[in-house]
């Protein structure tokens, strides 16, 4: 089994609903794991693969909205599709504001759910790619010396070597060496590419709510 193959998670306390939706998702060639409760889902060791979560709103114990909040608190960005037979407007607004991709009241058309699942998996695939790319950039950034990290922001602002050298009170040739090392360690083939890398690093730091040191 390919570990990168997409996987759909289904959480619903109604056995007949779980069985029906499991069959539906498998009928279009997707893997699915079904759970009778939010806690069962939380206890499951998720694989490293694109995923999404089809989630019932009202369940005994932890509700779907409770689970969504827990995932958000844990910075778990799995896309959530809510299904419910008891939905109302305030509940829908709450779920969507918290980042749910879709809110489907029962009964819903099978194609509507499948379409939402496809969109959610595509969204998660892109998110995972972006996270992997940012992780690689963070690894490269970690190889820079303290001085190189100080010099890089000035370089990406378009400052000339002599201007950066004047700012630090050091020889221009030293800045040239730093610039060369930065480009090499960050694997940037041009200044515009380095600028884009720094923007992605800053974007990642900002999205996590941390102070940027870049």
Distance separating alpha carbons of residues 29 and 26, to the nearest angstrom = 5
What tens-digit pLDDT sequence spans the chain (214 residues)?
A: 445 789 999 999 999 999 999 999 999 999 999 999 999 999 999 998 999 999 998 889 999 999 999 999 998 989 999 998 776 667 777 777 778 888 898 888 999 999 999 999 999 999 899 888 999 999 999 999 999 999 999 999 999 999 999 999 999 999 999 999 999 999 999 999 999 999 988 876 544 444 444 6
Q: For the packed helices 161-168 and 146-156, what is the interaxial angle rounded to 10 degrees? A: 130
pTM for the model stands at 0.74
Q: Which CATH number fits domain 143-207: 1.10.357.10, 2.40.160.20, 1.10.10.10, 3.40.50.150?
A: 1.10.10.10
Indicate the domain borders of the chain: 7-130, 143-207
CATH of the domain spanning 7-130:
3.40.50.2300
Cα separations in angstroms, 97 against 88, 119, 169 = 14, 18, 50
Distance separating alpha carbons of residues 162 and 164, to the nearest angstrom = 5
DSSP string across 92-111: HHHHHHTT-SEEEESS--HH
């Amino acid at each position: 089994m390919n570990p990168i193959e997409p996987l759909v998670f289904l959480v619903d306390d109604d056995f007949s609903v779980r069985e029906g939706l499991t069959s539906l998702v498998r009928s279009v060639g997707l893997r699915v794991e079904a759970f009778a409760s939010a806690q069962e889902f939380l206890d499951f060791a998720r694989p490293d693969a694109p995923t999404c979560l089809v989630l019932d709103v009202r369940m005994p114990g932890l509700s779907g909205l409770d689970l969504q909040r827990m995932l958000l608190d844990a910075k778990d960005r799995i896309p959530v599709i809510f299904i419910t037979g008891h939905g109302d407007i305030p509940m829908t607004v709450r779920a969507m504001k918290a980042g749910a991709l879709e809110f489907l009241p029962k009964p819903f058309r099978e194609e509507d759910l499948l379409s939402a699942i496809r969109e959610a998996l595509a969204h998660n695939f892109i998110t995972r790619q972006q996270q992997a790319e940012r992780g690689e950039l963070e690894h490269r950034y970690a190889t820079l010396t303290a001085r190189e990290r100080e010099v890089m922001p000035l370089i990406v602002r378009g400052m000339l070597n002599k201007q950066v050298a004047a700012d630090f009170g050091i020889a221009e040739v030293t800045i040239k060496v730093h610039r060369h090392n930065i480009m090499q360690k960050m694997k940037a083939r041009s200044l515009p590419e380095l600028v884009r890398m720094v923007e992605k690093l800053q974007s990642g730091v900002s999205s996590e709510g941390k102070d940027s040191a870049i």
